[in-house]
Chain A
Amino acid sequence: MNTAQLLNGVALGSLLMVLSSGLAMIYGLRGVANFAHGALYMSGAYIAYSVSDRVSFWAALVVVPLALAVLGVVLELVFFRPLQHRSHIELGLITFGLALMAERIVVLIWGERTLRVTPPEFLQGTASFLGVDYPAYRLAIIVIALLIAAALVLWLRYTDVGLHIRASSQDIETAAIMGIDVDRVSLIVVAVGAALAGLAGALAAPYIALDPGMGNAYLITILIVVVVGGIGSIGGAMVAGMGLGIIQTVATVWSPSFAVIVPYLALTVVLLWRPTGLAGKRVS
């Protein structure tokens, strides 16, 4: 088990971490399992492709979160808010329908071919890190993801908005009674969650080839991460995401065919042993 393999695991884990924190936020607050999260991630990646093709990769890193935040706002205003009294499962299924549509729309716009995004010049090739020659771009992903995670945690912990978010995630009715503008908080959470998904997609674009199946491929994994981490616990999702990324990569080194089943095994074991997930409230 050498450093390069460990770094591979951390790189994948970083991506999962960013992606699942967004999902955890939305689930924690709205109670909705956002099945469209994979589609948001995919849209982020494809928009990043178009932007970096025309302008630059850095521009993409700015444009994508903004664009996806807008999508998040639409999602909240059109679906989550008006239908908030419906059951959570129904809302989840609506997002499932949205995911199906979004995936097809992406294909209609960008085509079926697998696309490739090249990272910016200075991040191409390898850099020397901890004694190994490791792709510079992956190192960048790790750094950026850790920064985002830290920023997210600090934001939630030390700002007023963060306090409101945590309160609403814990008990939305009481929070409303206490005077928190739950609708506004909700809007922020969904927008930020979607932006995070898009950002993860933009970051992943030069790392993994873009293809129409990429949303689905990760959707199930991040749903598992969120459930394993614990519903409503963003920190739990982040830890679970990083953990799963590392475990899966290590498993791939040892036995690739087994590694594919690791997430499912993890979910089953965790849910049976601890139905609340590793760090959260009751799952249902």
Chain B
Amino acid sequence: MNKRRLVAAVSVAALASTMAACGSASSNSGGDDGGDDAPIKIALIPPTSGALAQFGTDATQAWKTAVRLANEAGGVDGREVELIVKETDTDPATTLRAAREAVTQDGAQFIGAVMTSPENAALNAQLESLNAMSFNALGKDDALVGEQCSPYAVHVVQTSSMDINALAESISEMPGEKWAIQAVDYSTGHSAAETFKAAAEEAGKEIVLEQYAPLDTTDFGSYISKLKNSDADAVFAVEYGADGIAFVQQADQFNLDQQLDTVLGFNMVSEPLFETLGDTIVGYYNNVGYDVNADNELNKEFVEAYTEDHGSAPYYVPADNFLAAETLFAGIEEAGSTDPAEVSEALRGLTFDSIVGEVTVREDDMQVLRDSYLGKVAKGDGGLEFEIVANASADVTTPEADPACQL
């Protein structure tokens, strides 16, 4: 009996190993180029659940406006533009699956509205084999233009370094001599704190306290108590999303503002949160990526069209995604084709006019070079709004291209 079992097992193993050599490669069906009149297909993969769902919706709406305007003007390079809207839950595995589906089943050649940096990183690695280009207007991680870069991925939004450098530039614009740093215990929190510290010390300020709270902290009591006990007269706060709201709310309850001249947020206080945060944040500073009141033609046209389509004025998320669309269209026009490889080639080093002024796609790492701003929350006629206090241009804020990026 045992011998037979052994023989059976051995033959199974033998057969299995021979069969292992015979797997078959799955092919891509669909996704062919089509004729000269084939529409340009762009897949959007925003999150539709979780805390970022609102941003996902706003990003999609911006693309829709961009596509509407483009089609009304006769299309891009003579062709009609079509959007394919997918969904994800920000797990990179889901996003990759959606991307593959969009490319192989629906024939998309361009991808947008992918939200988080990890998703973008995972996607960047697959773009070449998918033969598609991605226009990242949301994920800010520096590594995306560093070791995770790809000639098929254009980084439209400012990187975290650009943002923080812009803030560091403007430290002297804000009152406060003794700064405390309250940051999220996360890579962006730490790098923002580093950069800020260096700039503050250079500007002659003193750092009296530096503390980090784990991501998803709901109770900031201990941190705020420490802030109150320190000598600080200004706070640099790097807390996102729900953490940021909890922090602002609890700081208010502890009356922390009373002893402070300045509260500077980094990606903490932004337009979508104005309503939730309320009047507590009047007077808070924050980095601003997009100036809705910017005085250029393209921007005015965009703001009008977006407000008409969606009922409210755009803020940085829709603006960055609209810019992504502008970048894509500029690339297609320049290349005279919709083949991702050719568009990628055309985009490297391209300069064009956009809603944020004249911008250039840096050829070393596909980063779009653009301005960054410092804003102060003020009470306007329609509610809270940002008053732009300072403006830093790309050559000041953008670090040198990372040598780890091998295009």
Contact = CB atoms under 8 A, between A and B. Distances in A.
A114 B241 contact: yes
A135 interface: yes
A125 B276 contact: no
Contacts, number: 95
Given A112-B50, A115-B276, A209-B242, A126 B185 contact: no
Contact of B222 (A8, A112, A115, A118): A8
Contact of A5 (B50, B225, B255, B276): B225
Interface stretch (A67-75, A165-173, A249-257, A265-273): A249-257
B51 A137 contact: no
Contact of B225 (A8, A12, A212, A214): A8
Given A5-B225, A256-B214, A112 B219 contact: no
A253 B229 contact: no
B255 A114 contact: no
A257 B241 CA distance: 19
A contact face: mostly helix, strand, loop, or mixed? mixed
Contact of B245 (A116, A206, A212): A116
Contacts of A116: 245, 249, 276-278
A174 interface: no
Interface residues of A, number: 39
Given A112-B50, A126-B255, A135-B254, A2 B225 contact: yes
Nearest to A245: B219
B214 A138 contact: no
Contacts of B254: 126, 133-135
A12 B276 contact: no
Contacts of A252: 222-223
Choose among A114, A119, A124, A134 the residue with the greatest number of B CB atoms under 10 Å from its CB. Answer: A114
A202 B250 CA distance: 16
A85 to B, nearest CB: 37
Contact of B246 (A12, A208, A259, A260): A208
B163 to A, nearest CB: 22
B222 A253 contact: yes
> How large, as a class, is the contact surface on chain B?
20 to 34
B53 interface: yes
Contacts of A8: 219, 221-222, 225
A138 B249 CA distance: 13
B253 A5 contact: no
A253 B51 contact: no
A211 B51 contact: yes
A11 B229 CA distance: 19
A115 B228 CA distance: 25
A126 B254 CA distance: 6
B222 A126 contact: no
Contact of B221 (A112, A119, A136, A249): A249
Contact of A209 (B50, B225, B229, B249): B249
Nearest to B50: A112
A42 B246 CA distance: 16
B216 A135 contact: no
Interface in B294-353: none
11 contacts: A113-B51, A116-B245, A118-B278, A126-B255, A133-B228, A209-B246, A212-B51, A213-B51, A217-B216, A249-B219, A256-B213
